[in-house]
A and B are shown apart, each in its own frame.
Chain A
Amino acid sequence: MTGSGDVIRVALPAHLRTLARVHGEVELQVTGQVTQCSVLDALEARYPMLRGTIRDQRTGKRRAFIRFFACEQDLSHEQPDVPLPEAVAAGTEPYLIVGAMAGG
C-alpha cells in the first residue's frame, strides 16, 4: 500500500468542493503509505482551506458528522494510519469523504 506514484482520487461533499473551489473528484499524489492520515495530509496541503473541516486541526480526530467510505466499506472508524484498500491506493476507486445524512 505504499505510494507508487499512482493518483489517489478523493470525492468531497458538495460544501467542501465549493469551499475548495473544485469540481468533481480531487486527484492527489501521496508519498509513503496510502492511509487516511496521509491522504488527508495531502488534501489539506493542497487545499489549506479544508483544514479543520474534516478532522480536528490539532488532534486529527474525525469530525463527528463526517464519514469515510471506499470500496463499499465504511472506513470511518479505522485508525488513521491503517493502509487504505489497494484499489484506493491504485487510484481505481475513489476515497469518499461524506457528510452524514440529516434532514427533516
Chain B
Amino acid sequence: MSGVRVLVGTRKGAFVLSSDGKREKWDVSGPHFAGWEIYHLKGSPANPDRVYASQTSGWFGQVIQRSDDGGMTWEPVGNDFSYAGEPGTHQWYDGTPHPWEFARVWHLEPSLDDPDTVYAGVEDAGLFRSADGGKHWQELPGLRGHPSGPSWQPGAGGMCLHTIILDPSRTGRIFTAISAAGAFRSDDAGETWRPVNHGLHSEGIPDSGAEVGHCVHRLAMHPSRPSVLYMQKHWDVMRSDDAGETWHEISGDLPTDFGFPIDVHAHEPETVYVVPITSDSHHFPPEGRLRVYRSRTGGNEWEPLTRGLPQEHCYVNVLRDAMAVDSLDTCGIYFGTTGGQVYASADAGDSWAPIVRDLPAVLSVEVQTLP
C-alpha cells in the first residue's frame, strides 16, 4: 500500500513521520541529531530511501547527514562549503562591504534523476552542488558572482539562498531565491544566472522596482507547468506565467499578503496554498486564527481553510520551507509551525489534524510519497 513520509526539521532535531495512504495514524521517529538545528531534510525523487539533512549549530558549524534507508539511520558526509576563489563582498546591514562568510545550509535539493547529485543553498547566499552523495561540495560561483552580487544585502534572517527548483521539463534550468536579493534563473545548469524579478515591487528598498534587492520568501512550481511560478514575497503573493520573466500580483482578497511558504496542489496546477501572516512586525496569523488560504484559480480569489486549525489564541508562525504536498490521489498538504505542531490535511486542505503538537519550533517540512 502506498504511504507518505514527512521529514520535519526543527530547532532541536529532525523527526520522521510515517503513515499509510490513509494518513490517519502516524509513526513518529526522532529526534534525530537531538539538540542540533535541522534546517532542512529532503529525499531523492530518484531513490526515496536516499535522504539528505542539513544539521547545524552555532557552536559546531555545519554537518550534512545522509540516509540510505529512508531516515532510519544516518551517516555524516562532507561539510566543506568553501566558496570558489576570492569570496569578495556583499553589503552588510549598514551598507558597508562585508566578506562572504559561510554560515549554514538552508535548503538541500536532490537531483530529479540522480540520487548522488544534490544542490545546497547556503547562507551567505551561494549555491553548491555535490555529485558524490554529499561527500564533496563545489560552488556554482556564477550565481554569487553575478555583477549584482556586491549589492546584495541580508534580510533579517541572514542572507540565505533558501529556494532551489529544478525544472523537470528543461534540463539545466534552475530557479533559486535569495533573501533579500530576489529570484534568479539559470538555463545552463547553474553556470550563468540572471535576476528574474521584473514586476516585483518592494517598499522597503530605495527603488521599489529594482532588478535585485527584493525579499523573496519562497517560490513554488507545479512540475506539469514549469513556466508558471508562484511566489510569496515579504509582502505580496506573485505569479509568473513566463518562467520568471515577468511577475504580477495575485494577492487578491487575502486578509494580508505577508507570509512565508507557498505551495501548489500535486494534481491541480492552478490550486495554490499560502499561510497569511499579519505583518513583518507581527509574525503570527491575523486575529490569532491559523488559516491556510487556498486559491483554485491560480490566485486572486482565495478561501480560508480552517477546519481543524486553531481559531483563537494562536500566535505561531509558519516558516518558508515548512509546507509541502504529497502526490497521493487526494492530495495531502502538510505544514509545521514555530509552536511545534505539524498539521496534515488528507483532503487537499478541506480539513486538518495535527500529527504532532509539541515538537521544537519547526523549520522545514518535506513529504515523500512512497509506492
A49-B76, A51-B79, A58-B82 known; A63+B63 contact, CB < 8 A:
no
Report 8 cross-chain contacts, Cβ distance below 8 Å, ordered by A residue: A15-B36, A51-B79, A52-B61, A52-B63, A53-B61, A57-B79, A57-B82, A99-B60
Q: B60–A16 contact, CB under 8 A?
A: yes
Closest to B60 in A: A53
Candidates B59, B62, B76; contact of A15 at CB < 8 Å: B59
Interface centre among B57, B58, B61, B80, by most A CB within 10 Å? B61
Whether, in the assembled complex, B35 has its beta carbon less than 8 Å from a beta carbon of chain A, the answer is yes
Q: B61–A15 contact, CB under 8 A?
A: no
Candidates B60, B79, B80; contact of A63 at CB < 8 Å: B60
Chain A 1-36, CB within 8 Å of chain B: the 1/0 string? 000000000000101101100000000000000000
Closest to A55 in B: B61
Q: Which residues of A come within 8 Å of B, CB atoms?
A: 13, 15-16, 18-19, 49, 51-54, 57-58, 63, 65-66, 99-100
Candidates A19, A57, A66, A99; contact of B76 at CB < 8 Å: A19
Closest to A53 in B: B60
* Chain B residues whose CB sits within 8 angstroms of the CB of A15 once the complex forms: 35-36, 57, 59-60
CA–CA, A51 and B60, complex, Å: 10
- Which applies to chain B's interface (DSSP): helix, strand, loop or mixed? loop
* Interface pairs A-B: 10 shortest CB-CB: A49-B76, A53-B60, A65-B59, A99-B59, A52-B79, A57-B80, A52-B61, A53-B61, A58-B82, A15-B35
* Chain A residues whose CB sits within 8 angstroms of the CB of B36 once the complex forms: 15
* Chain A residues whose CB sits within 8 angstroms of the CB of B60 once the complex forms: 15-16, 19, 53-54, 63, 66, 99
* Chain A residues whose CB sits within 8 angstroms of the CB of B80 once the complex forms: 51-52, 57-58
- Which applies to chain A's interface (DSSP): helix, strand, loop or mixed? loop
* Chain B residues whose CB sits within 8 angstroms of the CB of A58 once the complex forms: 80, 82
* Chain A residues whose CB sits within 8 angstroms of the CB of B61 once the complex forms: 52-53, 63
CA–CA, A100 and B79, complex, Å: 22
CA–CA, A100 and B59, complex, Å: 8
Number of A-B contacts (CB under 8 A): 39
CA–CA, A15 and B31, complex, Å: 14
Closest to B62 in A: A52
* Chain B residues whose CB sits within 8 angstroms of the CB of A19 once the complex forms: 60, 63, 76
* Chain B residues whose CB sits within 8 angstroms of the CB of A52 once the complex forms: 61-63, 79-80
Candidates B57, B58, B63; contact of A49 at CB < 8 Å: B63
CA–CA, A12 and B272, complex, Å: 48
CA–CA, A65 and B59, complex, Å: 5
* Chain A residues whose CB sits within 8 angstroms of the CB of B58 once the complex forms: 65
CA–CA, A24 and B272, complex, Å: 51
Q: A63–B82 contact, CB under 8 A?
A: no
CA–CA, A57 and B82, complex, Å: 9
Closest to B57 in A: A15
What's the least CB distance linking B305 to chain A, in Å?
A: 36
CA–CA, A24 and B19, complex, Å: 38
CA–CA, A49 and B34, complex, Å: 17
Closest to A47 in B: B76
Closest to B36 in A: A15
Interface residues of B in 89-130 (CB under 8 A from A): none
Closest to B35 in A: A15
CA–CA, A19 and B35, complex, Å: 12
CA–CA, A16 and B60, complex, Å: 8
* Chain A residues whose CB sits within 8 angstroms of the CB of B59 once the complex forms: 13, 15, 63, 65-66, 99-100
Closest to A20 in B: B76
CA–CA, A19 and B34, complex, Å: 10
CA–CA, A52 and B56, complex, Å: 11
CA–CA, A104 and B76, complex, Å: 30
* Chain B residues whose CB sits within 8 angstroms of the CB of A51 once the complex forms: 79-80
* Chain B residues whose CB sits within 8 angstroms of the CB of A16 once the complex forms: 60
Closest to B58 in A: A65
What's the least CB distance linking B209 to chain A, in Å?
A: 39
CA–CA, A18 and B59, complex, Å: 14
Interface residues of B in 304-323 (CB under 8 A from A): none
Closest to A49 in B: B76
CA–CA, A49 and B36, complex, Å: 15
